[in-house]
């Protein structure tokens, strides 16, 4: 099990008083509220409010599907990076949208 921590305070042999449970705490410069979901990796920690978890997960799935499609298309050596990462032709846009739908079950928005 991985553990992430910043600084430590040895408490062995000392009396400790718990001043609160399920209260906001500060970790580094971040304010962490009770029920926040913690996402951690080598890059750092993210504290996600519970009402935003679904949106964050869905956004991550869409982003991964887009990245997977781009790498798949580049690996065919049929397209250049400019064709894949630049403005897409209508046919490539349709292919990417269909790939994303197959992977996520959701249609991508037109923001990109």
pLDDT, tens only, 84-108: 999 999 999 999 999 999 999 999 8
End-to-end CA distance of the chain: 38
CB count, 10 Å around CB of 7? 5
Q: What is the dihedral of CA 41, 43, 44, 46, to 10 degrees?
A: -70
pLDDT in tens, 28-85: 889 999 999 999 888 888 999 999 999 999 999 999 999 999 999 999 999 999 999 9
Residue with tokens 């304010």: 31
Whole-model pTM: value is 0.69
């Amino acid at each position: 099990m991985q553990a992430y921590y910043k600084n430590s305070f040895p408490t062995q042999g000392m009396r400790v008083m718990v001043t609160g449970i399920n209260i906001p705490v500060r970790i580094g410069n971040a304010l962490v509220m009770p029920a926040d979901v913690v996402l951690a990796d080598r890059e750092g920690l993210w504290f996600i409010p519970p009402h935003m978890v679904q949106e964050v997960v869905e956004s991550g799935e869409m982003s991964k599907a887009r990245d997977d499609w781009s790498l798949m298309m580049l690996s065919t050596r049929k397209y250049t990076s400019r064709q894949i990462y630049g403005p897409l032709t209508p046919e490539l846009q349709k292919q990417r949208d269909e790939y994303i739908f197959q992977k996520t079950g959701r249609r991508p928005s037109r923001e990109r």
